[in-house]
A = this chain, B = another copy of it.
Amino acid sequence: MAALILEMIIEVNGVKIGDPKVVALIAGPCAVESEKQMEKTAAPLAKAGVKLLRGGLFKPRTNPQDFQGLGKEGLKILEEVAKRHNMATVTEVLDPRDVDLISAHTDILQIGARNMQNFALLKEVGRTRKPVILKRGLSATVEELLLAAEYILSEGNPKVILCERGIRTFENNVRNTLALATVPLVKELSNLPIIVDPSHSTGKPNLIGPMSKAAIACGADGLMIEVHANPSEALSDGSQALTPDQFSKLMQELEPIAKVVGRSIRI
């Protein structure tokens, strides 16, 4: 880790991820489902001030019978809706063979928890110059997360954003156990930005607010939150998504917490 000394700030669409004065917000649905669904989700988010829009194209579902995402078809939808609202895009890449295409049409690449140690994929995104959100694996240690980041860094791409999204434990009342101590721990061990995903980690809309506040309070550089225009009709993970309205309200509650720690969610 010796090379990681200077604080890394990654600017995308005016949002300085890793800047000690900023809490970056990434919001959007689990999966891109249709042009209409994306528009109805993105429009209110943009109005609320969100600059980074997420949406999944390929859904790595545990069960091959479940909805697998629109694939490359969804890429155009994500790109056009985001452009219309002056938003940048975040999407997950699963296959090293898709990296070129996806990085040509998106602003931030995401590596999901299941692929944190998919080294072929890490190296491939390391060869692009796109920012990469690297999610912690379900049973990965913090040290392994940092070493996985090294696979990307060592290919020449310095723009890695770590993401704490909960680990798998015996506790079943929440989807995963959000390990927020990862945030200050990573700040000690690395200069990379670290964001928190309160949606996947808890799996419960009611817990997203409290855990978002806690994440900001302990120093997270950003939040990635699932928002869907109509959660009850979502094709994937709808039960844990907020509506755009709920998300706007949450933003108002988060700003005062951000202020206390010297940051802002407004850019």
Contact = CB atoms under 8 A, between A and B. Distances in A.
Given A63-B147, A181-B201, A95 B94 contact: no
Interface string A197-238: 000011000110111011111110000000000000000000
A95 B120 contact: yes
Contact of A118 (B118, B139, B177, B213): B118
A144 B114 CA distance: 12
Interface string A116-130: 011110000000000
Interface size class, chain A: 35 or more
A167 interface: yes
A201 B95 CA distance: 28
Interface of A: 60, 62-65, 94-97, 114-115, 117-120, 138-139, 141-144, 147-148, 150-151, 154, 167-174, 177-181, 183-185, 188, 201-202, 206-207, 209-211, 213-219, 256-257, 260-261
A188 B174 CA distance: 13
A211 to B, nearest CB: 6
Given A115-B118, A142-B171, 14 more contacts: A62-B148, A114-B118, A143-B173, A167-B169, A173-B185, A177-B179, A179-B179, A180-B180, A180-B211, A180-B214, A184-B210, A210-B218, A210-B219, A217-B257
Contacts of A214: 180, 214-215, 217-218
A218 to B, nearest CB: 4
A184 to B, nearest CB: 4
Contact of A216 (B167, B180, B217): B217
Contact of A260 (B151, B172, B211, B260): B260
Contact of A206 (B117, B139, B180, B184): B184
B217 A213 contact: yes
Nearest to A118: B118
9 contacts: A64-B147, A115-B118, A138-B139, A167-B170, A184-B207, A213-B261, A217-B217, A217-B218, A260-B260
Nearest to A114: B117
A94 B120 contact: yes
Nearest to A66: B147
Nearest to A152: B64
A154 B218 contact: no
